[in-house]
Structure 1
């Protein structure tokens, strides 16, 4: 659900012009235009920035996105903007398509919170609202073969991320992350410790899921993978049917690749069954997707996928509950019962648990 942005575009432009001029030394006589989009939802604030420099008629351009840490609308317990930037910077020379980064600013004095700047990638994104499974969207407009190619492009992106050596990329520091703790048990501890923040302490499905997850923890991998965290089609940008950017790393952590695969499957299920939309023909199913991931990874993963999908549903229900709470706190809806996202997430988690009880 969209939320209003409150920012002075001209003051923002002046601050960013000074900041960018120090990081783009080739850009003499830098001119900057800033767009403050309306209604981007709950997450980091996003600014669209166009830069120009050089003489008229021979101007050079660079289009950027600036992500500012949230201050009023904070879904997660703490900002991880510095870690997001570190991951993007580390991936720039890998085969994982990510936007190039310009710089990170930890000082909140300029824009009111820490921020980083990255290149703007051109392409299209499968939408969450309305769900990409519904008619009229860019995925429904594709033929079935192209839909399958989009889906497999996401699975291939997972594999590319998971086969990387996090230590060689300088990302071992994620083991010590406060808001993205290393290890499945530590992940459960983190979300349970922040139940009051998310507002899920009284949710029966959430409590049942947590108990099931603690009772059946799968083995940890000898070498944990870098995980995308929020691994879903809606965080991929495509050119045609090829992924050109893997976006939104605010849930990244080090762990088993199955955690990303479980989230990828579960969020697609939410956007179909969870919202009452029939799944689009041509998109590969769960069993086929798991088999393909196993082929890419060169190891079996199916044995514990039920656990990882509950793990996804547990975290998603908490995040959706937090969004509902924020909408009520800021007067955008009267009650959490009026927020379909939170209701649908809790109901889908309950249905997921039924055959596992």
Structure 2
């Protein structure tokens, strides 16, 4: 069902905000037909739903559109069986810590069912990595080439290009925790002969550490959750067009790999559910008011056996340094009367 991933340099498919008139006379029967898959994976609904007006970090235009989204609902149709359709009201699922694990923490809360009751964020991370490794092994050479090109673009960019789009570019390196002492010794040797420490560290890390530039290295990278049990530490080199800007050596080993589009697609495939990321952008993103909320779909590479779940992303710069920060959305199945408008048809 399609390639493993899309080229990350291409535009992602976006479902824009729209307010269509939808005839829902058959919704009740369709929802009944879809009842089995909805019931077993409905997330736990908070006793006191947080109004979008009370969610911090949102501008008025965002609050207005997200409130309308909750009041009117989102109509989801099964991608294969169009007779199965459900309307969901999307409520805010609460804040999660911005510790690098937010994708998996938010996904756990949004998914509901047995996953929310028994799985940890780290377990979801490792299941995504295992799904990636298995699918990569089964992929053809062309698909593997697309995967590795996307990984290099994200984590090992060509520092001779791309400056028309990016002011700062990051290079991710991995070091085995057990190798730290030897790396420090080599860095100190260069410092003792007169090299500036940051440049010495950059030289040693690029020579001796693992670049995140292919499938196996991505699996190692995405396995890192910032806990003592991790095998590797993440080292981040940040560059401007003039050269090295900063060096984050992550000596306490707490840095986790932020979830990316590849990881989201792996989650979708592992659980056979579509995942929709709902992005709410403010005035700093230079979008007009009617388009400040939109949906980014991530579809599994297998059949869809359960209803979708939704993740929320506040717009530009929310997590600092341009990192994406995910929060949970609680999708509540809703019964609507015939001819009622829904906010979005997925």
Q: What TM-score, normalized by structure 2, do the two folds share?
A: 0.30
Question: Which structure has more RCO (C-alpha within 8 Å, separation ≥ 6)?
Answer: 2
More helix by percentage: 1
Q: What TM-score, normalized by structure 1, do the two folds share?
A: 0.29
Q: Could you say which structure has the larger radius of gyration?
A: 2
More strand by percentage: 2
